[in-house]
Amino acid sequence: MSLWEYANPVKFIRATDRVLPWISILAISSLTIGLVWGFFFTPDDFRQGSTVKIIYLHVPAALMAINAWLMMLVASLIWIVRRHHVSALAARAAAPVGAAMTVIGLATGAIWGQPMWGTWWAWDPRLTSFLILFLFYLGYIALWQAIEDDDTAADLTSILCLVGSVFALLSRYAVNFWNQGLHQGASVMRAGALAGDTQERVSNVFFLPLMVCIVGFVLLFVALVFLRTQTEIRARRTRALIAREHAS
């Protein structure tokens, strides 16, 4: 019994079919609990008033935008090394979800920034590198759609993902150099919080609903990727059946 067993599309579909309802229910319930808790049952911030509540969407979405790309990177590597089709399809399935998360992060940030910073947009390093990340997502999705042959598309996009990761990192530090930031640094949880110092993280009143929201977003991402990968596998199988029909 190893993880690689699920590289078999049939086994992958069977296994994900079994866990998908549970993950979906958990994702929906934790998102509902987290968002309702965050929006209605937490006090307003001393300085920011009620605008602080957008954190329950902004932070999890931004977190998942980056982690989705990391997941695509790992899946691309697995495809290049072990040639499992499920892996390539999972990377393909994750890209639009990641792009959507990036848009949510940027949009909620802009909505929060308008009353707080007095501007919708600033050329701040974090904001700028997120915009660049979004462009990488767009290019990746566009390349998948442009190429007809499935294996060629998987090969090319996975190499683009590898090269893109290096350049996305480079851009991240380049824009850091280029302009000083307006966005706050790490503040939800700094290094000292792991040692149990409660001064080093956000107060529990905000922290607990935020954690529930983050868990909800992670589960939502997993559920969407599973579902979309299943769809990709089935779409490819349908195409193969149709092609066989025409051939005979």
* Residues contacting residue 96 through CB under 8 Å, at least 6 positions apart: 137, 141, 228
Instruction: Report how far residue 33's alpha carbon sits from residue 27's, in angstroms, rounded to the nearest whole number.
Output: 10
- CA distances (Å), origin 51, targets 24, 54, 111, 169: 29, 6, 9, 31
Instruction: Report how far residue 41's alpha carbon sits from residue 33's, in angstroms, rounded to the nearest whole number.
Output: 11
Instruction: Report how far residue 126's alpha carbon sits from residue 111's, in angstroms, rounded to the nearest whole number.
Output: 16
Among residues 19, 81, 142, 240, which is the contact residue for another protein, using CB under 8 A?
142
Which of 9, 110, 64, 16 lies closest to 215 in space, CA to CA? 64
Q: Shortest distance, CB of residue 90 to another protein, whole angstroms?
A: 20
Binding-residue total with another protein (CB under 8 A):
25
Q: Identify whether the C-beta of residue 169 lies closer than 8 Å to the C-beta of residue 136.
A: no
Q: What residues between 172 and 211 interact with another protein by CB under 8 A?
A: 174-175, 177-178
Instruction: Report how far residue 24's alpha carbon sits from residue 165's, in angstroms, rounded to the nearest whole number.
Output: 30
Instruction: Report how far residue 223's alpha carbon sits from residue 227's, in angstroms, rounded to the nearest whole number.
Output: 6
Among residues 34, 38, 98, 164, which is the contact residue for another protein, using CB under 8 A?
164
Does 139 bind another protein (CB under 8 A)? Our answer is yes
Site string for another protein, 95-134 (x = CB under 8 A): -------------------------------------x--
Q: Shortest distance, CB of residue 71 to another protein, whole angstroms?
A: 19
Among residues 138, 205, 241, 242, which is the contact residue for another protein, using CB under 8 A?
138
Nearer to another protein, 7 or 143 (CB): 143
Residue 19 tokens, joined: 């866990």
Does 146 bind another protein (CB under 8 A)? Our answer is yes
Nearer to another protein, 16 or 129 (CB): 129
Does 9 bind another protein (CB under 8 A)? Our answer is no
Does 7 bind another protein (CB under 8 A)? Our answer is no
Nearer to another protein, 138 or 205 (CB): 138
Say how many C-beta atoms besides its own lie within 10 A of residue 104's C-beta: 18
- Residues lying near another protein in the complex (CB under 8 A): 132, 135-136, 138-139, 142-143, 146-147, 152, 155-156, 159-160, 162-164, 167-168, 170-171, 174-175, 177-178
